[in-house]
Amino acid sequence: MERRFHLGRRTLCDEKSVANRAGWPVADLVFARCALAIFSAHLHDVPDRARPLGSRSDWLSLGQSIPARRKRASRLVVACAAENSSSAHYNLAIALLEKHQTADAIEHYEKAIEAQSDLLEALTNLAWISATSSDVAARNGSRAVEFAERANRLTGGTDPLVLRTLAAAYASIQNFNTALETSRRALQLAQEQHNPEAAEMIRREMSFYEAGRQPY
């Protein structure tokens, strides 16, 4: 499942910059990240994980009809994209992935990286999708290795989740020995950093690499 791995805090595009030009309240832009889900689906379909960005009652408090809110949400997304900033494209990628539009999400992850070459979250997420996506057309082993190695260099090899992604990338090109070695380093770090959830995921994936198989 593509959303299995997202690093860190999701950041919004430059709210004040967009809002000032568009003439919208800055508060409205907290909904930009889940805008695609909102204007392309019914309000009750907004996932619970989007609630920290604004509850359903917050949307109702805007005092507009649901179609009007969807229209505003779509304009917000366009405005964020027009910023052509790394965070704008990164947030669009996440929103698109929520709607299972993997190819479009990949495009915006790539644009985010073009705008900011050291954007760790985008590098890691794109590597993970490229290595493990259930959409066969989205898989690209060489791309997965390239971006995962870049992410790992940025962290100095100290992030177990980045190493986990790098191991999956190696497995995607059938390099299971390196995947297993990388997973061992990831497991050690996860244990040292007292991250049992990550350690458990890594152990499970290691069993696949030991058998010469991909876990996803």
- Sequence ranges of the domains in the chain: 1-116, 135-216
SS3 180: helix
The region of weakest confidence among 73-77, 135-139, 167-171 is 73-77
Q: Other CB atoms closer than 10 Å to residue 45's CB: what's the count?
A: 9
Q: How confident is the model at residue 140 (pLDDT cuts 50, 70, 90)?
A: very high
The alpha carbon of 127 is separated from its chain's Cα centroid by a whole number of angstroms, namely 10
Written as one string, the DSSP assignment of 122-175 is HHHHHHHHHHH-SSGGG--HHHHHHHHHHHHHHHTT--HHHHHHHHHHHHHTT-
Burial of residue 14 (CB within 10 Å: 0-12, 13-18, 19+) is: middle
Q: Other CB atoms closer than 10 Å to residue 135's CB: what's the count?
A: 13
Q: Quick: pLDDT tens for 204-216.
A: 999 999 999 999 9
pLDDT surpasses 90 at 191: yes
pLDDT surpasses 80 at 99: no
Q: Other CB atoms closer than 10 Å to residue 80's CB: what's the count?
A: 26
pLDDT surpasses 60 at 40: no
Mean pLDDT of 44-72: 46
pLDDT surpasses 80 at 60: no
What pLDDT score does 3 carry? 32
